[in-house]
Structure 1
Amino acid sequence: MDAALLFLFCHYVFSKRCWGVLHSQARTASYSGQCKLSAKTGCDVLVQWVVGCVFKLLFIKDSSRFVFCRGSIGDALMKPAEHPSALRIGRLLNEAGVDTQVVEFEHPTRTSAEAAAAIGCSIAEIAKSIVFRGESSGLAVIVVASGDNRVSEAKVSEAVGEALARAGADFVRSATGYAIGGVAPLGHAQPVKLLLDEDLQRFETVWAAAGTPFSVFALRPALLPALTGADWADIRV
């Protein structure tokens, strides 16, 4: 059994043990009218928690199979990508010479706020993909924007030289190859028009979707023009 699996097993046992003790004491307290746990129970729970943390630090932090991100929702466990779309993005990034790893969350992060909370970064550091439909060309128009920016449809329309229309879920899927919430800045199913929000250059690292609503990858913004073939643009409202 490797270190990662050992941690997961111990974490499960410790969690079940702590919960069982707390539940049992709470039930006993409710019967007897007491409102506090015994000292012995408190020490027992504390020991279980400390041991669980030690296992996390020793076996997970240095494991190549798992990554912990400290976000506002707590420790979010991420693992190397397994979904075919995410694996494809990983291969494309590798072929482009981008040194990064595509990782997956246990739960979808469809919005910039959800992704930022899980990763532990600011919303602005999320490189979100906003998709429109070009009325004349029929192509998908993708704006890779800073997560806290509202995209100006007028500015985007002027930049791509055509009016824009709403892009429905079916159109997004057929044009990009990805579902809404998982549109990556590269590897699209059909030709697209793509713009990069110049405000992303404020950061050393940004996080982008990797083909699914629960997979992401990090990269330096300076790599985006070469990776996507797109230019920086002023797209903010």
Structure 2
Amino acid sequence: MSIEKVRAYFQELGMADKILEFPSSSATVELAAQAVGVIPARIAKTLSFKKEEGCILIVAAGDAKIDNPKFKAQFGRKASMLSPDAALALTGHAVGGVCPFAVPEDVEVYTDISLKRFPTVFPAAGSSNSAIELSCEELFTYSHSRGWIDVCKGWQEEQSGPSGV
């Protein structure tokens, strides 16, 4: 079970007790936000994309959407999400619990700047009813992110009110 791999990973870091498990599903941004008790934007969703060999994981804010032109400029290819079967095969995590932890070494993980507006965020922890609260720097470090990137849209509008503040 992939939550056990994630738990073992965080156990080595002395942080396994930070993993939250819920009695109900947290498989979508909305469900995870309800389970954790935060706004959906603070859910750090992990999106899985095809690359020539293997896959790319992008961890982004719950209110962000992939911007196809930005994605193509960053990676030199069209954004093409993995099927649920391919996501499980390539990451070791099933859709709904895909996270950037305890993944094979050839999986490239990136963190999107849409997350940086929050002191802490909640990525999944390997199952469809788990999460872990991490600072953005902890997320970057523990996911072995290859870099902060800007490939999302939609989230900037959410941070400003009607007056643009």
Q: How many residues align?
A: 152
Map of 1:98-113 to 2, 5 A cutoff?
Answer: 98=15, 101-113=18-30
CA contact (8 A) 1:87 1:102 kept: no
Map of 1:59-138 to 2, 5 A cutoff?
Answer: 84-96=1-13, 98=15, 101-134=18-51, 137-138=52-53
The structure whose Rg is larger is: 1
CA contact (8 A) 1:101 1:217 kept: yes
Partner of 1:234: 150
Q: Deviations over 1:151-181 (max 9, x none)?
A: 1233223323334423111100000001111
User: Kindly tell me: are residues 115 and 164 of structure 1, through their superposed partners in 2, closer, same or farther at Cα, counting changes over 3 Å?
Assistant: same
After superposing on structure 2, the runs of 4+ consecutive aligned residues of structure 1 that deviate more than 6 Å are none
**Relative to structure 2, which stretch is displaced further, 155-164 or 223-232?**
155-164
User: Kindly tell me: are residues 112 and 102 of structure 1, through their superposed partners in 2, closer, same or farther at Cα, counting changes over 3 Å?
Assistant: same
Residue 30 of structure 2 aligns to a residue in which SS? helix
The unaligned stretches of length 5 or more in structure 2 are 154-165
Letter in 1 for 2:31: E
Q: Deviations over 1:158-217 (max 9, x none)?
A: 323334423111100000001111011111146112210112111111101011111111
- Give the distance between the partners of 2:90 and 2:82, measured in 1 at CA: 10
Partner of 1:212: 127
Residue 127 of structure 1 aligns to a residue in which SS? strand
CA RMSD of aligned residues (A): 1.9
The unaligned stretches of length 5 or more in structure 1 are 1-83
Displacement after TM superposition at 1:99 (Å) = 7.3
CA contact (8 A) 1:141 1:192 kept: yes
CA contact (8 A) 2:99 2:126 kept: yes
More helix by share: 1
Residue 49 of structure 2 aligns to a residue in which SS? strand
CA contact (8 A) 1:176 1:190 kept: no
User: What's the TM-score once normalised by structure 1's chain length?
Assistant: 0.59
User: What's the TM-score once normalised by structure 2's chain length?
Assistant: 0.83
- Give the distance between the partners of 1:210 and 1:106, measured in 2 at CA: 14
